[in-house]
Amino acid sequence: MPTPPPNAPYWTYMVPLVAIALVVLRNARARRLRIETLWIMPVIILVLVGMSFSQQGMPSPLMVGVDIAALAVGALLGWWRARFTHISVDPVTHQLTSRASPVGMLLILAIFALRYGLRLYAAQNANGLHISVNAIADAALTVTVGLVCAQRLEFALRATRLLNEARAGGPAPV
């Protein structure tokens, strides 16, 4: 999403805020969680990011290190956000539901704000950073890959454990 110029009308700033509000409202409701489909979004993101990376030349060793660090940060954020998501199992039907916690939603808001701030900073200081715009975009993509993959993996592990406990008549879902 392009950064609005400093003298842009106020409504150009409202579009990202409305999008964030819709994400928060969508995540506040309990939704059905299907373990068998948790792999789809990570595969789609990996394919799209892989296609994006394949169109570029080999990055410098420094940028490979930055991308690896960005992937680790994204994975940590994804795992942390997933840990705050409430997963429950219906004791009769064994249907799984998930509901994002307020902490998880605040994390997403913080990521959006940080990304927007970094974009503004990078746009204003592009020459001083000595880093290409593509390198910054690659790091943002690898954060997204780490976040989505780690979050879905944590969901799958916890949901499988809870479902197995429910089927065996074990402890109540947490």
pLDDT tens digits along 40-71: 999 999 999 888 888 887 888 888 898 999 99
Alpha-carbon distances, residue 55 vs 45, 49, 58, 62, 72 (angstroms): 16, 10, 10, 19, 23
Distance CA 158, CA 35 (A): 10
Contact 80, 154 (CB under 8 A): no
Q: What is the mean pLDDT of residues 152-164?
A: 94
What's the predicted TM-score (pTM) here? Answer: 0.76
